[in-house]
Structure formats: C-alpha cells, structure tokens
Amino acid sequence: MDHKKVANEIVDAVGKDNFAAAAHCATRLRLVIKDEEKIKQDALDNNDDVKGTFKTNGQYQIIIGPGDVNNVYDELIKIANVSPVSTEELKNLAQDNKKFNPIMAFIKLLSDIFVPIIPALVAGGLLMALNNFLTSEGLFGPKALVETLPAIKGLSAMIQLMSAAPFIFMPILVGISAAKRFGANQYLGAALAMIMVSPDLIANHNWDIFGLAVSQNNYYYQVIPVLAAVYILSVIEKFLHKKLPSAVDFTFTPLISLMITGFLTFVVVGPVMRLLSDGITDGIVFIYGALGFVGTGIFGLLYSPIVLTGLHQSFPAIETQLISAFTQNHTGYGDFIFVVASMANVAQGAATFGIFALTKNKKMKGLSSSATVSALLGITEPALFGVNLKYKFPFFCALIGSGIAAALAGFMHVIAVSLGSAGFLGFLSINATSIPAYLLCEVVSFAVAFSLTYLYGKKNSAKMAAIDGVGAPIADDVVSSPVVADTDEIVMAPVSGVATDLSEVNDDVFSSKLMGEGGAIVPTDNNIYAPIAGTLSVVYETKHAYGIKGDDGIEVLIHLGIDTVNLKGEYFATNVTQGQHVNVGDQLGSFDINKIAAADYDTTVITAVTNTADFDNVARLGNGDIQHGEQFVMVTP
C-alpha cells in the first residue's frame, strides 16, 4: 500500500479543511469531522485501500487495516495539517461536537444524577411497603397486625423510621450526586442540601434581613429546588477556584460558595423551583384525574418506548412528589406511574418468555430465559434490547398487553405508596387494599403479551426461523461444522474462553466482518498466544493488538477487547516486538481481564483473517468452551 497516496485520497474525499481532530487505533482512522455532508462518500467507497467507513458516537471512522493504518495516519495529519490527539481526547471532542439536543441532554442529566441514588430509594420504598403490611387494616383481618400483635409495634416504628429517612433527606442524596455531576465539591453539595432540610427551619416563619422577609421553607422530599441550588453552587465554586489565589482558595471558596448559594436558595431559587416542581406534579395528577383509566392505558402503551429514550430516568423526581403528598399530606392520587411501569415491565418479560417458548436457537433460549426473569423483577433492558427488539413483534405485543393492564389498573384505582421493584414484586409497594387488584392486572399484562407473542410467532414460524438463523453463535445453532481437509490451514485459539461468532461482537467493524472472517472469544484467561507461525507485522505500543503475517500467507489480527486502545497500555503486557518471528503457542503477552472489565471495557478477543479475500473459504471451527491452542478458524486456500 502506498500510504501517502491513500492519505491524499482520504483528505481529498473528506476535505482538507474539514478535519476537526484525528486519531487512530489498531485498524481504523478515527476522525471528528466539521461537516459530514461535505464528505465525498463515493470516493471512499470506491477506494480499494479503504475497507469501509461508518459513523459512531460522533466519530467518522475509516477502516484501513492493521500495519497500514498508523502509516496512513502519519501521512494524513501532515497533509491535512491536523493536530494528532489520543483516542480518549478524540472521544471527548466527538461528544462535544455532537448536535445539541436540550431535551435528551436534560434526560441524561437526570439519569446521571438519579441512577446512583436509586438503591437507597428502593431500599426505603421496600421498607415502607413492609411497614404498610404491618399497619394496614383489612389486610389480615379487621385490625392491623400491629394491633393484633402489640409486640411488633416497636419493630414497626423502627421500620417506619428507616423507610422514611431516604425520602425525607433525599435532597442530601441528590445534593451529593448532583454536585458530582456538575463538577462541584460533593461535600459542599451535601452541606447545601443539609441546610435546605435543617430541622431548625420553621414553617410559616420568616427571617428579617435588612427589611427583607425571607421564608424559612423546608425542602424535605424536594428534588428540583436542590438540583437548581447545587448547579448554582457549582458555577460559583468553579468561578472562585479560577479567580482566587491558591493561598486563600482552599479556605474562602467553600465559605463564599456556600454562603452566596444558601442566600440565593432561600430568597429566590428555592421558592421558584418549588412552584415549578409542584406545578409539574399537579399537571400530571390533573391529566390522570381528567383522563382516568384512558390516560393510564395510553401511558401503558407508551411506557416501554419511553424507556428506549431514557426519559423514564426522570420519573423518580415526580414519583417522590406523588408519594410524599399522598403519604404525608393525604392529598393527590398516589404514585400511578409506578403501577404503569410495572405493567409495562411484566408485559415485556412475558413477550420475552414467548420467544423462549418459540425459539430453536439455544443461545436465544438462554438469553430470553434470563431476560424474562430480569424483566419480571423490573429491569427490562436485557429483554428489550436483547430479545424483543431483535424480533420486533414481541415488543409490540407487549405494548398491547401493557396498555390493557394499565387501563385496568387505572379503572380499579391501583396506586403505589412507595418506590420499589416495578414488576411482580411491586405488590410490596402498593397500597394494601389494592394489592389483589394489582396482582390481577399483572396477570392480565403477562397473559395478553405472552399469548399475542406466542400465537404470532407460531403463525409466522418461517420468520422466526429466519431470525433465529442469523449469527447463531454456539453449539447446535451453528450449521454443522465444516470438514477440515488436508490442504486447509488452521488458525488456533489465541486465548482460552468461550468462542462466539464475530457477528456477536459489540463493534461494527468486526461484527460486519469488514476486517475479515474469523471468530471471537470471551476470555477466561489473561494470557495471549500466537495462533499461527509467522512474523509479527504489528505490535502496538498500547499492547492491545497484534498482527501476524503467517509463514503460509495467512494474515491474522488479534485484538484484545473493544475500544481498549483508550487504556493506553494499562493492564496490558507484551513479551514480543514487531518484526519478531513466533511459533504457534508462543506467548505474545497478557492482559488483566478483571481490571479491564472493572474499567467498563468489553474484554472479548477478536481473531480476524485480514486477507480473507485471498482464500476460497474462511470458517470458524471452535464453539462454546475452547482452550488456547485448539483449532479455531479454518482457512481453505
């Protein structure tokens, strides 16, 4: 390959002044482009040296291949006069370069803040539900259990205390999480929230500050006021860190930040945000009251699509207002959002169970069974993304089941009085007198979604079989293993683990086989071995990839993990150098799969025959558990 020529062709196609940033990994150029509409896509598509292009996460990636991409990159940054950056810096630039969507940005903001504190809210909610069992009349007889068994009154009182604390002092949890998200000191965020829920605040009392009457509002249970206050705190703190000399910054930045923000909170921010918070909650309650079961039915139809967008992460802020109004002030309708969410989650789980009953694909049976249990317990992402959206029709069957069950729940006035697991276990959070109705609605949701999915799948068995046959990666689901002839060459497994198909890899370049045919292994061992005998054409400084040009002409790329180039060699070690000759089974290096996984990276090891086009056939042999050195990929000359 003429690297300078290829770089010139790429620059001509992209536009010399159209590069915002450029980096590269083991196989591809990673670019941030100013205006992607100016790219001459046909020129890149028709370039024999470009193996493919695609866009992901704000990056425009051009696949060149191992051993050549770094040379093309070196020429490209000279020609385009673009400064080289690391892949991590490029990732950040790509995110900043994305078109701003304020709605999705706000949803992500709420998600980032609330997801870390959900365990505390769920624990408090389930404790509250447990106390409901102990104190509700008519559940186990005409009297509550605490009246029938006076000995448990103390236990009930203790549970009540523990259950109420996460909600009463929720502003402190939100303050800590929000401060982290906004880049402020988390302990200052906690301190500000503590001020807002201080027991010294007296309702209907004012401070007289130079003739200004400032209300001593207490912000128990509130979310939006503390979010706004912590954001202002973060802005002031960052400003002071930049302006104050280091000698006084440590002492006076926290003091001034907290003092100014606290004053603004009680004078302006708190009252205004409280009105906004109450207005949102009142508006939702009004819609629920006006539309009744029709409204809950529509909400049931829409809830799972809302989950796909991530908008549901904003609901806890509203639900806590509904719960506190109902349990503390005995106003409003209670938390009907939780009930609708439960119906939707159970419906998606039922549809997934329908696929479990229909599919002949062993991997899908395993996935659908675990995803069903997860969805019935309130976590639907595995069911949604792993099963139902793949087949499409189960997703829509679940929407019907969810809509019918949610409408029935609205008609029967089923409400929750605490947060909890939005699934079959959700009955623990339901108002005690409504538990039988809640369970009935859950059964309806499951029955409708499962029946529709199963009947449709049976009627369209050919469509089911076609989907089941796509990328089936293990054991009996793979068409009978190819027969190895004496003239075939074999690429051995470079690592021990569980073999899977390249189509299952969470990387578009490898899963679409743009880099060539081969296989993938989810590793159970840290050591990497040479799968063929040959010369190391590539040993990356980041130690996350190796290229071997085999003595028999096979060119193999071994890529350790997905996007692990961002780790810059951390957790990787290598025993070899570029240009060195290796034999089958020689140890190339190692990587710490536990630490890499803990850093939130996929550890899957890819083995790709990058010159697949030079051979009649390249096929994966290994299925399921495999040891390094066992036959993995067959290459037919």
For residues 349 and 355, give the distance between their C-alpha atoms in angstroms, rounded to a whole number.
10
**Residues belonging to the active site:** 25, 559
Query: In this structure, are residues 167 and 322 in contact, taking their beta carbons and an 8 Å threshold?
Result: no
Give the H/E segment covering residue 498. strand 497-500
Q: What is the DSSP string of 273-328?
A: HHHHHHHHHHHHHHHHHHHTHHHHHHHHHHHHHHHHHTGGGGHHHHHHHHHHHHHH
Q: What is the DSSP string of 46-105?
A: T-TT--EEEEETTEEEEE--TTTHHHHHHHHHHHTT--B--HHHHHHHHHHHSPP-HHHH
Token pair recorded at residue 524: 């159970």
For residues 421 and 378, give the distance between their C-alpha atoms in angstroms, rounded to a whole number.
5
Beta-carbon contacts of residue 396 (< 8 Å; ≥ 6 apart): none
Q: Is 499 exposed, middle or buried (0-12, 13-18, 19+ CB in 10 A)?
A: buried
Query: In this structure, are residues 219 and 171 in contact, taking their beta carbons and an 8 Å threshold?
Result: yes
For residues 314 and 115, give the distance between their C-alpha atoms in angstroms, rounded to a whole number.
10
Query: CA-CA distances (angstroms) from residue 86 to 22, 23, 322, 598?
Result: 8, 6, 47, 22
Query: In this structure, are residues 266 and 214 in contact, taking their beta carbons and an 8 Å threshold?
Result: yes
Beta-carbon contacts of residue 200 (< 8 Å; ≥ 6 apart): none
For residues 370 and 152, give the distance between their C-alpha atoms in angstroms, rounded to a whole number.
38
The residue type at 453: T
Task: Please tell me what DSSP assigns to residue 269.
Answer: I
